[in-house]
Amino acid sequence: MSENQNIKPTAAELEILQILWEKSEVTVKEVNEEINKKKYTGYTTTLKTMQIMFDKGLVERKKDGRSHIYSAAIKKEKTQQVLLDKILETAFGGSASKLVMQALGNKKTTKEELQEIKELINKLERDSK
C-alpha cells in the first residue's frame, strides 16, 4: 500500500491481518480455521473479505495450484501506528497521556507490562534531556 493514510482496515480485516502477520503466508482455509477458534465464520465470508482486502491493497496473493496463498501487504507496526494516530486525534484530542490513562484504567495491567511501561518512560525521559 503506497499511501499510509489509506490504511483503513475494518475490524474483520484487522482480525485477518493479525493472522497473516503471525503466520506470514496462508490460504483462506487456514485463515478461516484460525478465526473459527474464536467465533464461527463461514468460509465464503472469509473468502469474500480477503478478496475485498486484496482489492484494497491490504493483502497480496499468489497462485499455488488451485489455491491462493495470501500474505499481508501492509506492515503490522505501520498499520498500528496509523490506526493509533487516528484514535489519538479523534477520541483523545491528540493527548497521548489521556489515551494511556484510559488504556491503563480499563484493563488489568500485569507487572511485566507495568515494568515495560516504566522502562519506556525512563528511556523517553533520558532521550529528552
For each of the domains in the chain, give its residue range(s) and CATH number, in order of start: 8-72 (1.10.10.10), 76-127 (no CATH)
Structure confidence by residue, pLDDT tens digits, 25-42: 999 999 999 999 999 999
Phi, psi of 66 (to 5 degrees): -90, -10
**CA 121 – CA 119 distance, rounded (Å):** 5
Query: In 10 A of CB 35, how many CB atoms?
Result: 21
Provide the pairing of β-strand 67-72 with 59-64. antiparallel
Instruction: Give residue for cell 515495560.
Output: 116
| 3 pLDDT above the threshold of 60 | no
| 19 pLDDT above the threshold of 90 | yes
pLDDT of residue 102: 87
pLDDT of residue 109: 84
Structure confidence by residue, pLDDT tens digits, 64-108: 888 899 999 999 999 999 899 989 999 999 998 888 888 888 778
Rounded to the nearest angstrom, the gap between the alpha carbon of residue 98 and the centroid of all alpha carbons in its chain is 22
Name the pLDDT band for 1 (thresholds 50, 70, 90): very low
The conformation of residue 39, written as its DSSP 8-state character, comes to S
